[in-house]
Amino acid sequence: MSLTFEEYTDLDDLRERLVDADAKVRRVATMGLAEVMEPEAADLAIAALKDSDAGVRAEAARVLYEFEGKPEVIVALLEALSDSDTTVREAAAETLAENKDSAMGALMLERLDVEDPFVKASVLHALRELRVPEAQGPALSLLEHPDARVRREAVGVLAYLKAADVLMALMGSARRDGDPEVRRAAMGSLVFSSSDRALETLVDGLSDEHWQVREEAAFVIGKLAPASAVEPLIGAMEDEYWQVRLKAAGSLGRLKNPLAIPALGAALAYEVSNLRKEAVGAMGEIASSEALPFLEKALEDPDPDVRKLARWSMGQIHGVAQS
């Protein structure tokens, strides 16, 4: 039994096909509910979340994206996070995260009582952009959860809330959490703070054992652009990972301190062109005549983008000199 395009919007036909013996027919009919903007279509999609076929349930979870903002939809998706099938759980989590109605936050918070780490992490992820103040307490307590996914999502909730009284907890996660992804997320969360303690944590992050944490720390320091971070970032230009050096170079450009020119110039000898481009661009941001010898050499770089940026950077320096 096939389903034509015209029948996608025929609710009576879809209702009939949703109870067909063939799971493939039910699956296609479930997809068709997305085309029917009637309240009953949401009810049918919720009912499809209980179908015996995991494929139907997964499609139902995806279709419910079209009916966000309804409490019954959020409740159904929260329940689907505990489905026996991984695909269904993941589809429910993705749809739940698309909800932008902060009024649904209370329903989500109730689901944090479920012990399953996947459920906790998914709910926290969905709460993140809602910025529900009531999520602060639960998120703080979950920074100590044994599952790294949960801790990482708890960091995300606290970061979006931008509450000053959680700064110490975030700095603690950035320094001491045993999972590098959690530390990386916590480093990123410090972009909302300009305190000296936060900067100290970020500078310490440049020495983290995991390169992605060091990369994040170098990037966030550039966002905050504190003058005192020049020397630590210059040190990061010698990191064994070019990705860290690339972020350090960009941040040095934002700090606009000529002391960084030698380290940026040394990066022009590195084989990764992305790093050479970042270094050349940073010298243009600094706009110091000390960079001219390096930029003149960069005019002969084998990468045309590096040569183009070198010309731009030289123009920046000459513009400053003429003003």
HEC sequence for 204-230? HHCCCCCHHHHHHHHHHHHHHCCHHHH
Nearest residue to 33 (alpha-carbon basis) of 55, 50, 8, 53: 8
CA angle 100, 104, 106 (to 5 degrees): 135
Least confident of 19-23, 39-43, 258-262, 305-309: 39-43
Predicted pLDDT at 6: 47
- Find where tokens 């064994």 sit: 240
pLDDT digits (tens, 9 = 90+) for 272-314: 999 999 999 999 999 999 999 999 999 999 999 999 999 999 9
* pLDDT greater than 50 at residue 1: no
pLDDT digits (tens, 9 = 90+) for 75-88: 999 999 999 999 99
**Contact call for residues 278 and 244 (beta carbons, < 8 A):** no
Calpha distance 157→139 (Å, rounded): 7
Predicted pLDDT at 320: 64
Residues of the chain with CATH 1.25.10.10: 100-224, 235-323
Give me the half-sphere count of Cα atoms (radius 13 Å) on the Cβ side of residue 276.
Answer: 22
Give me the half-sphere count of Cα atoms (radius 13 Å) on the Cβ side of residue 307.
Answer: 6
HEC sequence for 187-211? HHHHHHCCCHHHHHHHHHHCCCCCH
Least confident of 3-12, 71-80, 265-274: 3-12
pLDDT digits (tens, 9 = 90+) for 124-136: 999 999 999 999 9
Indicate the residue type of 301.
Answer: D
- Find where tokens 């044994």 sit: 146
Calpha distance 97→319 (Å, rounded): 47
- Residues in CB range of 296: below 8 A, 6 or more apart: 310, 314
Q: Please state, rounded to an integer, the average pLDDT across all residues of the chain.
A: 94
Q: What is the pTM of this model?
A: 0.88
Band the pLDDT of 249: cuts 50, 70, 90. Answer: very high
CA angle 129, 131, 133 (to 5 degrees): 160
CATH hierarchy code of domain 235-323: 1.25.10.10
Band the pLDDT of 322: cuts 50, 70, 90. Answer: low
Helix (H) or strand (E) segment spanning residue 268: none
- Find where tokens 């639960």 sit: 138
Task: Tell me the two tokens of residue 309.
Answer: 């940026």
Which CATH fold would you assign to the domain 100-224? Leucine-rich Repeat Variant (1.25.10)
11 or 208: which carries more pLDDT confidence?
A: 208
pLDDT digits (tens, 9 = 90+) for 93-149: 999 999 999 999 999 999 999 999 999 999 999 999 999 999 999 999 999 999 999
CA angle 275, 264, 227 (to 5 degrees): 115
